[in-house]
Amino acid sequence: MPADVIIGGQWGDEGKGKIVDLLASKYSAVVRFSGGNNAGHTVINDLGEFKLHLIPSGILHDNVTCIIGNGCVIDPKVLIYEIDKLRASGIKVSSKNLVISDKAHIILPRHIEKDSEQEKARGNLKIGTTGRGIGPAYMDKVARSGYRMGSIAEWPEWEEKLGSHITSTQKLLRDLLDHDENVLLEGAQGALLDIDHGSYPFVTSSNSTIGGALTGTGLVPSDIRDTIGIFKAYATRVGEGPFPSEIQKSNPVAKHLLEKGHEFGTTTGRERRCGWFDIESAKHSIMTNGFNKIAIMKLDVLDGIEEINVLNGARYDTFPGWNESTFGIKNSSDLPENAKNYLSYLKKELKVNIDIVSTGPERDQTISIS
Ligand code: IMP
């Protein structure tokens, strides 16, 4: 049976966590394949509000095995904290439903120190990293001088808490797929932050795109069925780097998106830069990942904006906005005409089916189009 992949189509924070949470019950396993606790998902469901950085949001579902794949970098302290917090909220976390690759690399305190030293040294050219030691941990991995989770026995405290979760996740995944189980691979960050295909050097240090889903798990191309791209109905970026459709902070529309969209980082609390949807960069993501489906998130955040712009190459296309609330709408036929027109335009320009439109943070505030 197949594996499906969810990947952020922009600069991260598109709302992947909600979609993984929405779909997770259809899968036996949900797998993170790249990055570390630079990521942050907020999931709001019947059980409460959860902020997850490393553990896939599938953990909130019974009968889903959550896997942290070999492509990830893990700060053991953060992982232990996350496990403890979930348990304190009544979520069961055991070595059966949380499995960690023995080949995932360990983020050590020195990586975190180096991250901040490097940022200081970059001066005006700083990347605006999350400061979690991600880059230096991957540097050690590539320099072949890193420590992997398989060697955690060298750290008694971490071994005691995490040791029973560590195994060969590649074999586990192979077994699941060979036994006709469905697997969901959960991307972190977004395609435009990919180390190879993003806006280098203002990127993260891993492959957040489809290639990383394979190398970061040990699966093969024929395992993959759907590659689902997650896009916001507008765009945001945290940290430095080019953002062609950025709206000036002094413009009231930027304030609207920031406040109505709660555009503050889950990991660092930083204000996100806000802008319009950018067709060219979305097409780049689609080309790089081969998305056959996409989800448009946070449509409701655009409610009440008089005029919506989209950057399309060198020009801006302009659409009349809508005053009606789209919050919580579940059927596309209930959307205001102007919202329908906006979605039709995106579909026509991007040439990919829009399968899901999200109209609020909760699971059921979703329009399923297929
Ligand atoms: P690093 O991954 O901490 O090295 O940060 C590199 C760049 O990626 C910075 O611009 C970060 O703000 C950005 N970044 C890393 N993780 C995320 C994420 O999960 N969402 C959004 N931006 C991220």
Q: Is 127 in the pocket of ligand 1 (CB under 6 A)?
A: yes
Burial 239-278 (b: 16+ CB within 10 A, else e): bbbebebbbeeeeebbebbbeebebebbbbeeebbbbbbb
Pocket test for ligand 1, best of 189, 199, 274 (most atoms within 8 A of CB): 189
Six token digits for residue 1:
């049976």
169 phi, psi to nearest 5 deg: -75, -20
pLDDT at res. 297 = 98
pLDDT along the chain (370 residues), means of 10: 94 93 94 96 79 90 95 97 93 96 98 98 95 98 98 92 97 97 97 98 98 98 98 96 97 97 88 97 98 98 98 97 98 97 97 97 90
pLDDT at res. 370 = 67
Q: Is 235 in the pocket of ligand 1 (CB under 6 A)?
A: no
pLDDT at res. 269 = 85
Residue 63 alpha carbon to ligand 1 centre in Å: 31
In angstroms, the Cα distances linking 266 to 39, 77, 193, 226, 293 are 8, 18, 17, 27, 26
Question: Which residue minimizes the CA distance to atom 1 of ligand 1?
Answer: 129
Which residues is 312 bridged to in the sheet?
Answer: 315
Q: Is 193 in the pocket of ligand 1 (CB under 6 A)?
A: yes
Ligand 1 atom with minimal separation from the 268 CA: 12
Domain CATH code at residue 293 = 3.40.440.10
pLDDT at res. 49 = 83
Q: Is 130 in the pocket of ligand 1 (CB under 6 A)?
A: yes
Q: Is 207 in the pocket of ligand 1 (CB under 6 A)?
A: no
At residue 55's C-alpha, the angle toward residues 8 and 79, to 5°, is 130
Q: Is 134 in the pocket of ligand 1 (CB under 6 A)?
A: yes
Assign 3-class secondary structure to the chain. Answer: CCEEEEEECCCCCCCHHHHHHHHHHHCCEEEECCECCCCCEEEEECCEEEEECCCCHHHHCCCCEEEECCCEEECHHHHHHHHHHHHHCCCCCCCCCEEEECCCEECCHHHHHHHHHHHHHHHHHCCCCCCCCHHHHHHHHHCCCCCEHHHHHHCHHHHHHHHHHEECHHHHHHHHHHCCCCEEEECCCCHHHCCCCCCCCCCCCCCCCHHHHHHCCCCCHHHEEEEEEEEECCEEECCCCCCCCECCCCCHHHHHHHHHCCCECCCCCCECEEECEEHHHHHHHHHHHCCCEEEEECHHHHCCCCEEEEEECCEEEEEECCCCCCCCCCCHHHCCHHHHHHHHHHHHHHCCCEEEEECCCCCCCEEECC
35 close to 70: Cβ distance less than 8 angstroms: no
Query: For the chain, what is the domain count?
Result: 1
Residue 274 alpha carbon to ligand 1 centre in Å: 15
Residue 142 alpha carbon to ligand 1 centre in Å: 19
Ligand 1 atom with minimal separation from the 131 CA: 3
Residue 69 alpha carbon to ligand 1 centre in Å: 19
Give pTM, 2 decimals: 0.96
Question: Which residue minimizes the CA distance to atom 2 of ligand 1?
Answer: 204
Q: Point out the residues that are catalytic.
A: 13, 41
pLDDT at res. 266 = 80
Q: How far apart are CA 312 and CA 310, in angstroms?
A: 6
pLDDT at res. 4 = 98
Residue 11 alpha carbon to ligand 1 centre in Å: 8
CA atoms within 13 A on the CB side of 52: 29
pLDDT at res. 267 = 79
Domain that holds residue 75: 3-368
pLDDT at res. 48 = 80
150 phi, psi to nearest 5 deg: -60, -20
Ligand 1 atom with minimal separation from the 13 CA: 20
pLDDT at res. 42 = 77
Question: Which residue minimizes the CA distance to atom 10 of ligand 1?
Answer: 239
Residue 17 alpha carbon to ligand 1 centre in Å: 16
Ligand 1 atom with minimal separation from the 206 CA: 2
